Amino acid sequence: MMGGGVEMQGYGMGFGGFLAMAVVILAQVVPFWRILPRAGIPSWVALFAIFPLISLVLLWVMAFKRWPGDDAGRGA
């Protein structure tokens, strides 16, 4: 079709692609939003989890960070 019709073809992503991307972003940001405060990191940092490399860095930071409850069971 030529002319004045508004189409999403050729622009990369239709509504289905946008919806899928939104679901993936939410599935990644929401768990970080809930877990990061437990590790003593502000919740808003979870917004950076939409970038894959930063998400991986956040996982490593959480894995090796000393959590608030780490020393609670040692009786010290």
Q: Tell me the pLDDT tens digit for each residue of 38-67.
A: 888 899 999 998 998 999 999 999 899 888
So what's the pLDDT on residue 75?
54
Write phi, then psi, for 41 (nearest 5 degrees): -110, 135
For residue 50 the two structure tokens come to 């939409």
pTM: 0.66
For the four alpha carbons of 16, 48, 66 and 42, in that order, the dihedral sign comes to negative
8 A C-beta contact, residue 65 and residue 39: yes
So what's the pLDDT on residue 16?
81
